[in-house]
Structure 1
Amino acid sequence: MQSQLSANIRYTLCEVSSKTKTPHLGSCLSGVDILVALYWHVLNINPDQPTKDDRDFFLLSKGHAANLLYTTLAYRGFFPIDSLYQHGATGSQFEEHPGINAPLGVENVSGSLGHALSLATGMALTCKIQNRPNQFYVLMGDGELNEGTVWEAAMFAAGQKLDNLVAIVDFNKLQGTGESCDIMHLEKLEDKWSAFGWHSIRVDGHCQTSLLAAFEQAKHSNRPVCIVADTIKGKGISFMENDNNWHYRIPTSDELITIKEELGLS
């Protein structure tokens, strides 16, 4: 059973998509529980001091899921929830992919896939050299693992023993053009990360208990950690789950009524 918070975030994601006509809803819904675990239980952050020096950094690598990050930050108190309805509007901070004018709380520009892990390795190495306490968390999509830069960063991070770096793969098994494992040979994914020198953990990406246990385990590793989170694209909405049309489709006003009922929201 998903939490009330996850349900509220999922409904807001659907409503924002419907009202602003912005896509990639399925990709957002699969990552909700991961970000709830991070932003409410793991990350050292403070919405009142979003740029404090000792904060932890979350980098969204699957930038097309920008609405997931914006909505999570809004519920966490970084800015008003009402501002989310500017998503995709001309001149808005809330661009469809996070840009250079993104609101406070967004730590990196993203959209072109395969780059945030490389960025995080450089940031994490800098903090280790300077003996700073910052931890770095990167959320990637499984389709993003098609990019060679991901694996170059993986080798570098392992070589530098970056124990302040955690990569999370939102493994929903689908990407824009089909099933991820039909397009690239990904499985067994956790074994691939282990072979690259990472401590690898595979969990149910919709179970808070499993996610929090994995993040706690990551804190005690002496090398970078990859959490392979098995998720469902479109999670929480029966007619969206595992339907890749929702990589692009926008919910109608009638569908929003059904979505609210399915999520148990009045």
Structure 2
Amino acid sequence: MAPHGPDLTRVARAHRCGRPGRLAAAHHRRDRRRCRRGDGRSALADGRTDHHRRPNDRGDQRDRRGQRLQADRRRDRPHQGDQPSRRDRSRHRPQPARRPARQGQGPRHRLRPRGPLRHRLARRRHNGCDTRNDVLARDLTDVERQGPCKVLRGTLVSPYTGDRVDFVRGNTTSTLVQIDHVVALENAWRTGAQQLSQEQREALANDPMNLFAVDGHSNAQKRSGDAATWLPADTAFRCTYVEHQIAVKTTYRLWVAPAEHDAMERVLSRC
């Protein structure tokens, strides 16, 4: 004869921690609360899996919400044939806005050694050679050339340091000797070159009086500094350096800042 009351084996099998079914009795509510709290002490929690959690658990709610969002996205997504190709997307991609020039300076690329100015420095001069090779041939000794213009090798005594530098043309060795603008082009732009015509700017960038062949380290240190922020390490050359700066600024009607004027005056007082 079957015992009275519910079959506890069937109750435990149907309970599964929060899904009791109709066979669950009132005396099992304490075990269901323990299972929901995660105590792990309920015998009915044995064999529990993720899909046996109560449907009102927060985890299940998040899962169902995420499934609904994914279904909405798939429903709203256009057909694959209607989507633009990768080339069309890159073609119609919005371009970043150019940063406006700071007040009083104007576009720097017009006088800096990049962009259009790079071609001006390499342009053909009256002798058929470019500016760089002309300056190298003037300032180097023991010069070897290829043809009438191209300087292949030579020896430079850097006027900024007095050190000897062996110049050998190549991808990794040509930068040891660089062409420096005595009046840096960015400094010239800030001190009046923006008022010059295009021909005058090209003349300023290629004027032999404003160019020296120097060691690359000194040129990198100087950057766009004026006499107030940078002077050659070789003190014996500072007088010549400042004289060239004054001559260039006088020729092209560039002004001198107060701090720069004081630095030039100090250097010339010792000459």
Question: What TM-score range do you get, normalising by the shorter chain?
Answer: under 0.3
TM-score after normalising by structure 2? 0.23
Structure with bigger gyration radius: 2
The structure whose RCO (Cα within 8 Å, separation 6+) is larger is 1
TM-score after normalising by structure 1? 0.23
